[in-house]
Amino acid sequence: MSQGDQVAFTEIFDYYEPRIYPFVLKLTRSETTAEEVVQELFIKIWTSRRDLAKIENHRSYIFRMASNRTANYLRNIANNIRLVQNAAGQVVVEKNTTEEVIDYKYTQQIINKVVDQLPSQQKAVYNLSRQQGLNSSEISKQMGIAEKTVKKHLTEALKFIRTQLQQSPGSAIALILFMVKNAR
């Protein structure tokens, strides 16, 4: 694999993914987060594949990477929550003025525009999950697709939305609102 053999990578993925996913799930307690962390882990393994030839104990190395990636992910979530709480603590509570209502609607429009860019399956899964409050099992039954597919679509949708909001100028408030609404 260190020389770019995709078949070797697939074998490593097929061997380690079922072992790493439960480990990460236990740490994160979130299927969506665990899938995202594991996906990022294997992307990192592939992009740094040339370094693998120097590693003596691949199992230990991969589990250490999983542990570190999970810790970093959870640390980032905690930092984001602290930022939101600090921002919320600095906001003076007042009656909703017309301007605040317009700002909220504008912010929601930014998020909706990004959601509209999702592929149809991802968009449907996102809407059922985040707007109707259905869990993966319920979405799976309603859409007639595997629960694992539902989770994959939701992970990809959330990642896409977060990335688009981070890259969009002037959408910092939309990103914070999105993160608060989707922190589950």
Helix, strand or coil for residue 114? helix
- Cα gap 42→1, rounded to integer Å: 12
CATH node for 94-181: 1.10.10.10
pLDDT band at 184 (very low <50, low <70, confident <90, very high): very low
pLDDT tens by residue, 25-64:
888 888 888 888 899 898 888 888 888 888 888 888 888 9
Tell which residue, 172, 184, 33, 183, has the closest CA to residue 111: 172
Please count the residues of the chain: 184
Within the chain, residue ranges assigned H as helices are: 6-28, 31-47, 58-90, 98-116, 120-126, 136-143, 147-167, 172-181
Tell which residue, 133, 128, 177, 134, has the closest CA to residue 157: 128
Residues 32, 158 contacting (CB under 8 angstroms): yes
How high is the pLDDT of residue 174? 52
pLDDT score of 22 more than 90: yes
pTM: predicted TM-score of the whole model, two decimal places: 0.46
Tell which residue, 78, 63, 69, has the closest CA to residue 23: 63
Mean pLDDT for the chain? 79
- Cα gap 17→12, rounded to integer Å: 8
**In which residue ranges of the chain is CATH 1.10.1740.10 found?**
6-77
CATH node for 6-77: 1.10.1740.10
Percent of the chain with pLDDT over 90: 18
How high is the pLDDT of residue 90? 56
